[in-house]
Amino acid sequence: MNSNIVAYYKNIDVKKDGVKLTILYGILTGFLVETIIYALDLLGIVDMSVFINTGVQSVLEESIFLGMMLVLVLSPVLETVIFQFGIFEILYGIIGAFKRNKTKWNTIIPAVITITIFALSHNFSIAYIIIIFLPSILFQLTYIKFRNEQNMIKGIMFTMLQHFIYNASTVLFSMFYYSLFN
């Protein structure tokens, strides 16, 4: 990871700027992911259909309300609790038990494993798994940052908020790009 990015991220004052940055990063990541997806489709590199979550798509076809609840509420809550909190904290505890001295690897190893598992759990296509690494990294860094500087509950809450904002922005940007190019 670029040392300038790490230094910038370490210097964020979560008490002062946490909510603003959580929302901003969620929107920017949603924009970036949807832009990459549509660019790949427009260039003919990858067909747009490989990015469609067929489970969510079928729920949306039955009920827009239920589909939006799934995407905007249930997914951020469950995925944050399972991945960014649950799997990360279990791995962090296991690695901490084996390593007596606390080093950056006590955090990096569980974070990389959690990010990978999160991305692989979105197995709608290989392209989708690859593209989901970007928000996965963002969610994990947000959880770790707030967990370390505030507490676990704030880490969970801010990660859920960011995940919600990210999902909402991907829906909005996807609708925008769809109306623009179709």
Nearest to 136 by CA among 52, 34, 56, 33: 33
Any domain includes 97: yes
pTM for the predicted model, two decimal places = 0.83
Tell me the pLDDT tens digit for each residue of 66-81. Answer: 888 888 899 999 999 9
Any domain includes 8: no
Rounded CA separation 7/87 (Å): 26
Rounded CA separation 115/125 (Å): 17
Q: State the pLDDT at residue 100.
A: 67
Domain count, the chain: 1
- Write down the mean pLDDT value for the chain: 84
Any domain includes 136: yes
Any domain includes 71: yes
Any domain includes 137: yes
Q: State the pLDDT at residue 1.
A: 47
Any domain includes 38: yes
C-alpha 158: how far from chain center = 12
Q: Is the pLDDT of residue 3 over 90?
A: no
Any domain includes 155: yes
Q: State the pLDDT at residue 40.
A: 86
DSSP 40-89: HHHTTSS-GGGG--HHHHHHHHH-HHHHHHIIIIIHHHHHIIIIIIIIHH
Any domain includes 86: yes
* Domain span at 132: 16-181
Tell me the pLDDT tens digit for each residue of 92-151. Answer: 998 877 766 677 888 999 999 999 999 999 887 888 888 899 999 999 999 999 998 888
Residue pair 150/14 in contact by the 8 Å Cβ criterion: yes
